[in-house]
Amino acid sequence: MTRLVLLRHGETDWNREGRYQGQADPPLNEEGRRQAEALVGRLAGRGMEAIYSSDLRRASETARILAVRLGLPLVLDPRLREIHQGEWEGRWVEDIMLTYPEAWALRWKEPLRARAPGGESILEVEARVSQAVNEIASLHPNGVILIVSHALALASLRCRANGLPLEDVHQWLPENGAVEEIDWSPDPARGTGDGG
């Protein structure tokens, strides 16, 4: 069983403005960099072997700050990216609700089937992120690994590891700079984590 320390990237201006980021690539803002620096003391001494991060700037910048300060190797993996939000990326929530009322309503009524126009479903995100984490965990059996990623991607891992319904993933979205630990068993037949 591999111990995963899950970290959501630091804040961006789009987070502050309430704009959908998805796989758009805004950088950390000053507060986001401060959040990353503040995590160094909290994460030091955990016996972590490596950091694996989404390659999007807000995550990779967070991860690079920690890798340098903690002296850990860093691997960027595009499978750890946030959900692709298609036509919604860069838009404010209010604008999305008005412009795409049917797709927005479906997001809440049937979250596993819903997707932004041109984007991914929650099931697709969970499948690619779990595949990446299965491979990472198999490289570090019984180790401790830091995963730097995004709100929905991390919430899908939390659901999978703890046996929570994926339909409820939006209830588990972490805040910027939030840390959570889970145990993950890289069983390719199940594609799931265990407990934690």
Q: Domain residue spans in the chain? A: 2-85+120-184
Amino acid in position 103: A
Cα angle, residue 152 at apex, residues 123 and 125 outer, rounded to 5°:
30
- pLDDT digits over 86-133, tens only? 999 999 999 999 999 999 999 989 999 899 999 999 999 999 999 999
Question: What local confidence, expressed as pLDDT, does residue 10 receive?
Answer: 98
d(CA 146, CA 28): 19
- pLDDT digits over 171-184, tens only? 999 999 999 999 99
- pLDDT digits over 23-82, tens only? 999 999 999 999 999 999 999 999 999 999 999 999 999 999 999 999 999 999 999 999
Known catalytic residue at 140: no
CB 11 within 8 A of CB 29: yes
pTM above 0.85, yes or no: yes
Question: What local confidence, expressed as pLDDT, does residue 116 receive?
Answer: 96
Q: Tell me, which fold does domain 2-85+120-184 have in CATH?
A: Rossmann fold (3.40.50)
Query: Which residue is catalytic, options 84, 140, 150, 170?
Result: 150
Known catalytic residue at 9: yes
pLDDT over threshold 50, residue 188 = no
Cα-to-chain-centroid distance, residue 125: 10
Question: What local confidence, expressed as pLDDT, does residue 192 receive?
Answer: 39
